[in-house]
């Protein structure tokens, strides 16, 4: 894989009461015919960080951007009816910040973004706007959270 330049935040799109981790997500991804879990890291509801693919192995987490990126998945992100919801725990946000800080040290200059921010900019105005999101993953504005600590859609 190319040198890591992008750290992509995802959600598992499972309801808050499903306490799953890398083992369950690996099973889901293998059921799709993939050889391993698509992400490099999974952050459980209690903030535990679990390792998926090795950092030097290309993941399967974002169309067109897998080469040179790492995928980090927060468990949660939907309501029981599977509609998007920001329902991550404080322990998850703390673990995510710690992990991203560590990864930016390991891969200097790497950019942090959410999955939805890599959607195609269909109207070419240079901004990926909400109408252009392929999906809402990871449900919140990662830039705003990373820079200001604010969690919002």
Binding stretches for Zn ion (CB under 5 A) = 10, 115, 137
Collapsing DSSP states into helix, strand and coil, what is residue 35? coil
Strands of the 111-114 sheet, one edge to the other: 49-51, 41-43, 69-74, 6-11, 111-114
Residue 40, C-beta contacts closer than 8 angstroms, at least 6 positions apart:
51, 52, 53, 54, 55, 59, 70, 71, 72
Peptide bond just before 49 cis, omega within 30 deg: no
Number of other residues whose CB lies within 10 A of the CB of residue 148? 10
User: Is the Cβ of residue 30 or residue 125 nearer to Zn ion in the bound state?
Assistant: 30
10 as an active site residue: the answer is: yes
Nearest approach in angstroms of CB 15 to Zn ion is: 16
Q: Which of 11, 29, 39, 41 is catalytic?
A: 39
> Taking a C-beta distance cutoff of 8 angstroms, is the pair 71, 42 a contact?
no
Nearest approach in angstroms of CB 126 to Zn ion is: 22
User: Is the Cβ of residue 73 or residue 108 nearer to Zn ion in the bound state?
Assistant: 73
113 as an active site residue: the answer is: no
User: Is the Cβ of residue 10 or residue 45 nearer to Zn ion in the bound state?
Assistant: 10
65 as an active site residue: the answer is: no
150 as an active site residue: the answer is: no
User: Is the Cβ of residue 10 or residue 29 nearer to Zn ion in the bound state?
Assistant: 10
Q: Which of 79, 106, 135, 150 is catalytic?
A: 135
11 as an active site residue: the answer is: no
Nearest approach in angstroms of CB 70 to Zn ion is: 13
The DSSP code sequence of 121-144 is: -TT-SS---GGG-SS-TTSS-HHH
Active site residues: 10, 39, 115, 135, 137
């Amino acid at each position: 894989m190319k040198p890591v330049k992008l750290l992509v935040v995802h959600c598992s799109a499972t309801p808050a009461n499903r306490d799953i981790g890398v083992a369950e997500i690996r099973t889901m991804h293998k059921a799709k015919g993939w050889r391993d879990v698509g992400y490099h890291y999974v952050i459980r509801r209690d903030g535990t960080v679990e390792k998926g693919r090795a950092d030097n192995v290309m993941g399967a987490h974002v169309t067109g951007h897998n080469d040179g990126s790492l995928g980090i998945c927060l468990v949660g992100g939907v309501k029981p009816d599977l509609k998007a919801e920001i329902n991550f725990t404080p322990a998850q946000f703390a673990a995510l910040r710690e992990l991203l800080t560590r990864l930016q040290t390991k891969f200097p200059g790497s950019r942090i973004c959410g999955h939805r921010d890599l959607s195609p900019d269909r109207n070419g105005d240079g901004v990926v706007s909400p109408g252009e999101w392929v999906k809402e993953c990871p449900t919140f504005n990662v830039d705003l959270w990373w820079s200001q600590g604010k969690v919002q859609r």
